[in-house]
Amino acid sequence: MKYKGSCHCGKVAFEAEGEIKSATACNCSICSRKGSLLWFVPREQLTVLTPEKDIGTYTFNKQVIKHRFCQTCGIHPYGEGTDPKGNKVAAINVRCIEGIDLASVPVQNFDGRSL
């Protein structure tokens, strides 16, 4: 299935393909503040529709995850990184996907604070 999403103002827009079977709520220092619910997909399943120059990037700690955000409204619609096997992945904030019934998405908690 193809999903469309964006930040609040719509400047950072994307499409993602796949099936949302669950979302992850992480308790690390940034995720707990943002309140994101993350859906992980292979990076090639995410199509960013916004020019790179219009997307902000924040990294911290080990500098391995690119937390992507809108420089206008501040919303973080997705992040980019690498999984433990070395595959490129996207972490899409399901709260930024159009038409999602969040109550129907099972949420798994992840203890990112312990990493």
pLDDT, tens only, 2-45:
999 999 999 999 999 999 999 999 998 888 999 999 999 999 99
| Domain containing residue 88: CATH number | 2.170.150.70
Range of the domain at 93: 2-98
- Higher pLDDT residue, 31 or 115? 31
Nearest alpha carbon to residue 38 among 28, 25, 29, 48: 25
How many whole angstroms separate alpha carbon 83 and alpha carbon 85? 5
Kindly state whether residue 14 falls inside one of the protein's structural domains: yes
pLDDT one-digit tens code per residue, 69-101: 999 999 999 999 999 899 999 999 999 999 999
Kindly state whether residue 106 falls inside one of the protein's structural domains: no
Instruction: Please state the domain count of the chain.
Output: 1
